[in-house]
Amino acid sequence: MQHNSESMLKKDIGTIVAMSIVIGSVIGSGIFMKPGKVISASGDSTMALWAWILGGLITIASGLTIVELATQIPKTGGLYVYLEEVYGKLWGYLCGWVQTLIYGPAVIAALGLYFGSLVAHFFGWGPETKLYIGIGTIVFLAVVNSIGTKYGGFVQTLATAGKLIPIALIAIFGIWQGDGQILNMASGVTEKTGMAAAILATLWAYDGWLLVGFVAGEMKNPAKILPRAIIIGLSVVTVAYISVNIAMLHVLPASEIAKLGENAAGTTATILFGGIGGKLISIGIMVSIFGCLNGKILTFPRVPLAMAERGQLPFSRLLSQVQPDLGTPIFATVFQVVLALLMMFVADPDRLSDIAIFAIYVFYILAFVAIFILRKKNSAALRTYSVPGYPIIPLVAIVGSGFIVISTIFDNPTDTLLALIITVIGLPIYWVLNCKSLASAKQEG
């Protein structure tokens, strides 16, 4: 029997808190790491700014759509549970499988490599050191989160300041003091990969919006507060991202931003604020990514843990174990971290982040389509929240995301094929484990 935890939750989240949850869960590493990649892919500064705007619009439409799903299916587990509820066990399982084997480890690996690159650049160490710094940081955070030390809150508070201060300072002072040309500046890259690849890179920076649906049950009036928090929160993020890009283009030529890659934001800060100021901003950016990485290592193992508890993964008995003394899923954490470390040896962070976003957006599209299925199925049911501008907003989310997924398959067939193969490998494993559980249920019966 399922307890209605919804009625037990205190409904005291207002618009400001909900908005800060949206902003806090979206802003991570992308705004500092991706401007160079977006310019390289799009070919010039004007198209790069359009990529950030379109990425923001797709994200706002996605956020507004997914919340109706979250309020219609008020269960914990996010995407995994929504798909299982609408499409059946197999699709929920495949979503969890992809989150466990591709999305989670690729995100952790990419963040580790970005962090390593920034630390190496900051201290003037060789580029070969970034891999080892990234590995050391991931292992350190995995150990800390497994021990269950209650330092997480402090790190997350520091990280929030760490990400908002550099964004504000670079945006304000770059726009105010810079004098470079912003529009129609060539990237200097001979091989541009196109607009879809540019928008895909921005979606890494916007990812995290899925968390907004989780707090719907604790809002005073979700029908009013949720859309307001998503529209204002994600608009603030979009404006912040575009402002930082304009500021950077004001300070550095587009070709230089493309060449510097993940070190462009730090270089911009050094030009604007001098050696010491630039170093302080760079530390703020590193703190932001460190906090983001800490949050991912803390939360991502919960997906394989939930799957293992249902017997849906090989070695489920081991992966479902929670250490009684520490209260942490050590084996699920180790599993995610080992996969992340393996990925760090074989791919660069931009490639890993693209694979992660491609893999998860395939399932996001299924979730957006689920709105139409639920509306038809529960036409008489009372909704606490409805997508504003239905059916236009969900269609924007579906078409925008579909364009990115299909274009990525054509632009990058090797990585997308690999992601799809890993997804399909999940099918025989699902059937084998299902047969085993049915056989053991018969024996018990």
pLDDT the model gives residue 11 = 66
SS3 417: helix
Structural element, H or E, at residue 189:
none
SS3 40: helix
**Under a CB-based contact definition with an 8 Å cutoff, are residues 38 and 198 in contact?**
yes
Q: How far is CA 72 from CA 21, 93, 381, 390, in A?
A: 21, 20, 9, 15
Residue type, 211: L
CATH number at residue 273: 1.20.1740.10
Give domain status of residue 4, yes or no: no
Environment class of residue 72 by beta-carbon count within 10 Å: exposed (0-12), middle (13-18) or buried (19+)? buried
DSSP track, 100-111:
IIIIHHHHHHHH
Task: Give the chain's domain count.
Answer: 1
Q: What is the number of alpha carbons within 13 Å of residue 61 lying toward its C-beta?
A: 24
Backbone phi, psi, residue 282, to 5° = -60, -40
pLDDT the model gives residue 212 = 67
Q: How far is CA 35 from CA 194, 241, 268, in A?
A: 15, 9, 12
**Under a CB-based contact definition with an 8 Å cutoff, are residues 248 and 236 in contact?**
no
Torsion of CA 356, 359, 360, 362, to 10 degrees: 150
Q: What is the pLDDT along the chain (445 residues), one digit of tens a residue?
A: 344 434 444 566 788 888 887 888 888 889 999 999 999 999 999 999 999 999 999 999 999 999 888 888 877 677 888 999 999 999 999 999 999 999 999 999 999 999 999 999 999 999 899 999 999 999 999 988 887 655 555 666 677 777 888 999 999 999 999 888 888 888 887 677 789 999 999 999 999 888 766 666 667 777 788 888 888 889 999 999 999 999 999 999 999 999 999 999 999 999 999 999 999 999 989 988 998 898 888 888 888 988 898 889 999 889 988 877 777 788 999 999 999 999 999 999 999 999 999 999 999 999 999 999 999 998 877 888 889 999 999 999 999 999 999 999 998 999 999 999 999 999 999 999 888 877 776 676 6
Give domain status of residue 441, yes or no: no
Collect all residues with Cβ–Cβ distance below 8 Å to 71 and sequence separation of at least 6.
213, 216, 222, 226, 383, 384, 385
pLDDT the model gives residue 193 = 79
**Under a CB-based contact definition with an 8 Å cutoff, are residues 319 and 304 in contact?**
yes
Q: Measured between alpha carbons, how far is 115 from 22 in angstroms, rounded to an integer? A: 23
Give domain status of residue 45, yes or no: yes
Q: What is the number of alpha carbons within 13 Å of residue 298 lying toward its C-beta?
A: 16
Collect all residues with Cβ–Cβ distance below 8 Å to 148 and sequence separation of at least 6.
323, 326, 327, 328
Give domain status of residue 382, yes or no: yes
Give domain status of residue 440, yes or no: no
Residue 193 belongs to what domain range? 11-431
Q: What is the pLDDT of residues 168-177, one digit of tens each?
A: 999 999 999 9
Q: Could you give the angle at which helices 104-123 and 264-299 cross, rounded to 10 degrees?
A: 140
Task: Give the tokens for residue 306.
Answer: 């939930």
Task: Give the tokens for residue 244.
Answer: 């930082």
Give domain status of residue 58, yes or no: yes
Q: Measured between alpha carbons, how far is 33 from 162 in angstroms, rounded to an integer? A: 15
Collect all residues with Cβ–Cβ distance below 8 Å to 204 and sequence separation of at least 6.
30, 33, 34, 110, 353, 354, 356, 357
Give domain status of residue 100, yes or no: yes
Task: Give the tokens for residue 203.
Answer: 């979606």
Q: Measured between alpha carbons, how far is 319 from 306 in angstroms, rounded to an integer? A: 9
Q: What is the pLDDT of residues 411-426, one digit of tens each?
A: 899 999 999 999 999 9
Give domain status of residue 80, yes or no: yes
